[in-house]
Structure 1
């Protein structure tokens, strides 16, 4: 049996413009894809302008961080991450047979405790908690309930670029019934945790076309999706209503966006006048 893997080249350019000269800045980039079961990083590099020495480490959540300081005066900062990644199709979404009762076992609660807690961006209100209770009651297993929850969120919240900002939370997206992949993932993660299911927020990239031509470069996007644990980790993209497969590239995981921002830092100088982001993805195979 053959497996139809994809090979993707990703260029992610991000940075800041400032209202004047910045004397120094201290930065972290989370733009380096992970090596793991369903994807292999064949090549990766992160370049900084103005030039700066970089060093890499894995953070608490296992995300590769490229850290660097810039001490030359600069009015703009640009970080360009280029990588080539081999990806595999979606994994098995078949039921696991894992029961609700197993989620409350002390060993499972202790193991995944941090991924059961609500955060600033994943908190719910009483109406959402009632909806979660209804979905949970209607399904015999956590896995079935998780899939139904993803379908519910996708049916209720419209994907609309520009509807929210990076500081928005699940409740904001729910109240206006629209948001971006980050908001939809925060809402889904919050509802999964309300069911007592460990859930992770995943940051990465998505090739927008299932029928992508070999060698065609397209405007891609930074993307977010979710993973839940019901005896095993299952990855699903609630924004698009599909399992995570060959079009998805994982960069990092955490409790929410705040654990995996692509670029963040502090600096000494005048205010920032904006942040630019550009992602180009090419299917090589």
Structure 2
């Protein structure tokens, strides 16, 4: 994935997550979304998902195209651990759209476009806006002649108004709560941005994945990485942007899944029979191999 003009990165990702319980659990039914995607700007060279206690796993793609590793555990257990290990080659940002390019407002409003992206135009529990935010979205749209320029302005607005607090991309709050607090982790900022984009009439997706935290990472160094979230919007084609960091999505980002919001792409979820949970653990280690 090198073409003489840009250099790819090769990243090894180890993502360990699990639950502890207050006593023996008799059975649990689980889904992990921790397997990176093969697509235009990234190639999965190796991937595996391991479960403890041992369980037979099977994989499938869900409605949104995310690879799901599903498994049941029927032996008594007081903890559950899932470890996903992958090696992915990624590319820097490329073929970016200029502010004045892409589909126009009229193009996004035609019935064919609205029908095609209907699910990605509707608010969800985590991306819904209050009256103040809806008015802000209307103002941003009115100030820009193209949807793409308005989308970039929305990202800049959120980054300027809501402080990013790096941390695990777990089950967070929603767009309204992040706005009220004026701070949040990456899912909060992505939910708020997606809500503004949809309110302006842009189809928008919530993206779940990983971020290497160091733009100048040394080859061979292992660092504490992050589960991360960013956004994509459609203006004739999909464009990705990381509003939490204010950068286009590039070689430090690895896509795992897409959906309407976090609820469509949680890294690990499940149901079980037994005593209460004592909490979830998450650890991500990323090594730049090239």
SS at match of 2:141: helix
Runs of 5+ in structure 2 lacking a partner? none
For residues 48-197 of structure 1, the aligned pairs below 5 Å read 48-95=51-98, 96-161=101-166, 166-197=171-202
Query: Aligned pair 1:213/2:229, yes or no?
Result: no
Structure 1 length-normalised TM: 0.98
Given that residues 163 and 179 in structure 1 are in contact (C-alpha distance below 8 angstroms), is that contact kept between their aligned partners in structure 2? no
The corresponding residue for 1:25 is: 28
> After TM superposition, which residue ranges in structure 1, 4 or more long, deviate above 3 angstroms?
161-165
SS at match of 1:211: coil
Q: CA deviation at 1:160?
A: 1.9
The CA distance in 1 between the partners of 2:170 and 2:12, in whole Å, is 27
Given that residues 56 and 64 in structure 1 are in contact (C-alpha distance below 8 angstroms), is that contact kept between their aligned partners in structure 2? yes
Q: Which residue, out of 228, 240, 244, partners 1:235?
A: 240
Runs of 5+ in structure 1 lacking a partner? none
| Shift in CA distance, 44/162, structure 1 to aligned 2, threshold 3 Å | closer
Q: CA deviation at 1:2?
A: 2.7
Q: CA deviation at 1:162?
A: 6.5
Structure 2 length-normalised TM: 0.96
The corresponding residue for 1:44 is: 47
Q: CA deviation at 1:171?
A: 0.3
The CA distance in 1 between the partners of 2:152 and 2:94, in whole Å, is 14
The corresponding residue for 1:281 is: 286
Count of residues in Structure 1 that have an aligned counterpart in Structure 2: 285
SS at match of 2:145: coil
